[in-house]
C-alpha cells in the first residue's frame, strides 16, 4: 500500500513537472512571437538563446520570422535566420478571389516593402519566384521588374498575371521571355467566366500574341464519379460564354474556326444566341451566314431560339432577348422555315406568349 502511494506521488509529480515545463515552453514561444511582432530585437535574442523554438508559429500559422519581416527590423530578421529560422516555410490560405495560395515569407516582405529585407532574404536563398508571385498579386510592376532581374521565372507566372488582368505586367513578363500563351489564354478566359471579373484586355493581348485560338480543351461530360467521358471543346465556345463582345470579336478578327460544339452539344450559333448579346450574334453571322442553316435538334434557328429556355450550364431561367431575334432576322434567318412539328417562327412565338417577337416578325413580313 505504501509503495502504491509512493508511485502515485511520483507519477503525479512527473505529470505536474511536464505540464509546467510545456506551459513554460509555450509561454516562451508566445513571447517570441510578440517580440517579433514588435520588432523587439533584445527580447527576441534572450528567448532565442534560452532555447525557444526559432520556428515557432502562432494560432494563425504565422511564424516568428514572418512577423519579424513584417515589423521591418532587418537586424531581427538576420538574428532569426542566423539561428536557423526556416525561410522556406509557408501555409495555405486564400486570395481575394477565394483561390488557394501559399503564404510565405515573400508575402510579408512585399507587404512591408523594406528593400533591405527583401535583398537579404534573396541573398539567403529565398525563392525569387515567390516574390514575383506576390508582386503580380499586388499589381506592383516595379517589383515585377526587380524580381525578374533576380532570376524569377517569368514564363511560369504569365498565366497568373493573365488571370489577374494586368496587361502591363504581362508585357514585362513577355519581354523577359514568357511565352506560355495558350495556357494563359485558357486560364484567363476561365477566370473571366467563373470569377466574374473583367480581364478582357489581358485575353485580347494574348490573342494578339498569337495564342492558339483554335485549340480544343478536354472536357469531362460524364457528371459522375464512376467514370469519365471526355470530349474536345474548342476554346472559342468559352470565349462566347464570357458574353463579352470585344473578346469574341478579337477571336473572329484572328480567323477563329466556327465549328464544333460545346459540352451541351450546342453549335457556335446556338452558343451565340444564348449569350443574349445581339452584337455577338451579328458579329459571328458577319463571318458566316451559313450558320443560320444549322440543323438544331429538329428546329430551325429561329424556332429553337424562341423555344429554348436553357442558357449556359445550369441556367434554366433563360429566355431569348428580342434583340437577338432581330439580329437573326437581319442576317437573313427564314421566318417561314418550319421545324419538324410543322411550326414556323411566328407559331413558336405565339406558343411561348412572346408578343414582342410576334410584333418583330410581322415587321419583317411574317
Name all domains of the chain by residue range, CATH numbers in brackets: 257-366 (1.25.40.20)
At 5, which helix (H) or strand (E)?
helix 2-38
Are 81 and 73 spatial neighbours (Cβ–Cβ below 8 Å)? no
First to last CA, the chain: 108
pLDDT band at 314 (very low <50, low <70, confident <90, very high): low
Number of alpha carbons in the 13 Å side-chain half-sphere of residue 66: 19
* b/e map 86-99, b = 16+ CB within 10 Å: ebebbeeeeeeeee
How sure is the predictor about 296, in pLDDT bands with cuts at 50, 70 and 90?
confident
Write the CB contacts of 357 (distance below 8 Å, at least 6 apart in sequence): 306, 320, 322, 325, 345, 349
Secondary-structure breakdown of the chain: helix, strand, coil percentages, each rounded to the nearest 5 = 55, 5, 35
- What's the pLDDT score for residue 222? 80
Strand bridging mode 90-94 / 230-234? unpaired
294 pLDDT higher than 90:
no
Quickly tell me which residue has 508575402 as its cell: 107
Rounded to an integer, the average pLDDT of 233-253 is: 97
pLDDT computed for residue 35 by the predictor: 97
Per-residue pLDDT, averaged over 184-205, amounts to 95
* Separation between Cα atoms, residue 158 and residue 290, nearest integer Å: 38
Closest CA to 322 of 359, 285, 362: 359
* CB-based burial label for 159 (10 Å; 0-12, 13-18, 19+): buried
| Residues 361/346, Cβ–Cβ less than 8 Å | yes
Could you give the 3-state DSSP secondary structure of residue 204?
helix
CA-wise closest residue to 258 among 230, 280, 242 = 280
Average pLDDT over residues 165-189: 97
pLDDT over 70, % of the chain: 93
Interval 172-188 mean pLDDT: 98
- State yes or no: pLDDT of 25 exceeds 80: no
What per-residue confidence (pLDDT) applies to 15? 44
CA 71 vs CA 28, 82, 179: distances in Å? 19, 18, 38
Amino acid at each position: 500500500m505504501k509503495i502504491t502511494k509512493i508511485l502515485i506521488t511520483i507519477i503525479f509529480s512527473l505529470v505536474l513537472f511536464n505540464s509546467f515545463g510545456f506551459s513554460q515552453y509555450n509561454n516562451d514561444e508566445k513571447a517570441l512571437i510578440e517580440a517579433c511582432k514588435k520588432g523587439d530585437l533584445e527580447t527576441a535574442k534572450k528567448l532565442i538563446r534560452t532555447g525557444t523554438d526559432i520556428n515557432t508559429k502562432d494560432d494563425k500559422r504565422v511564424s516568428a520570422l514572418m512577423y519579424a519581416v513584417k515589423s521591418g527590423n532587418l537586424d531581427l530578421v538576420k538574428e532569426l535566420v542566423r539561428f536557423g529560422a526556416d525561410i522556406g516555410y509557408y501555409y495555405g490560405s486564400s486570395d481575394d478571389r477565394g483561390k488557394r495560395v501559399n503564404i510565405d515569407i515573400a508575402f510579408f516582405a512585399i507587404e512591408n516593402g523594406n528593400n533591405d529585407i527583401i535583398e537579404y532574404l534573396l541573398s539567403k536563398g529565398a525563392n525569387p519566384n515567390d516574390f514575383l508571385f506576390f508582386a503580380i498579386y499586388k499589381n506592383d510592376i516595379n517589383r515585377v521588374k526587380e524580381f525578374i532581374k533576380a532570376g524569377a521565372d517569368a514564363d511560369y507566372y504569365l498565366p497568373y498575371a493573365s488571370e489577374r488582368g494586368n496587361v502591363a505586367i504581362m508585357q514585362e513578363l513577355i519581354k523577359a521571355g514568357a511565352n506560355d500563351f495558350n495556357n494563359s489564354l485558357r486560364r484567363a478566359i476561365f477566370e473571366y467566366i467563373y470569377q466574374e471579373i473583367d480581364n478582357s484586355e489581358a485575353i485580347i493581348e494574348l490573342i494578339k500574341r498569337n495564342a492558339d485560338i483554335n485549340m480544343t480543351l478536354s472536357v469531362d461530360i460524364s457528371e459522375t464519379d464512376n467514370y469519365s467521358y471526355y470530349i474536345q471543346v474548342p476554346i472559342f465556345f468559352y470565349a462566347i460564354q464570357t458574353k463579352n463582345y470585344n473578346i469574341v470579336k478579337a477571336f473572329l478578327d484572328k480567323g477563329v474556326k466556327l465549328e464544333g460544339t460545346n459540352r451541351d452539344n450546342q453549335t457556335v450559333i446556338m452558343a451565340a444566341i444564348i449569350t443574349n448579346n445581339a452584337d455577338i450574334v451579328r458579329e459571328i453571322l458577319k463571318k458566316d451566314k451559313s450558320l443560320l442553316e444549322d440543323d438544331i435538334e429538329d428546329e430551325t434557328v429561329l424556332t429553337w431560339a424562341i423555344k429554348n429556355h436553357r442558357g449556359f450550364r445550369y441556367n434554366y431561367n433563360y429566355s431569348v432577348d428580342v434583340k437577338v431575334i432581330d439580329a437573326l432576322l437581319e442576317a437573313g434567318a427564314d421566318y417561314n422555315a418550319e421545324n419538324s412539328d410543322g411550326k414556323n417562327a411566328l407559331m413558336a412565338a405565339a406558343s411561348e406568349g412572346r408578343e414582342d417577337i410576334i410584333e418583330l416578325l410581322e415587321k419583317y413580313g411574317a
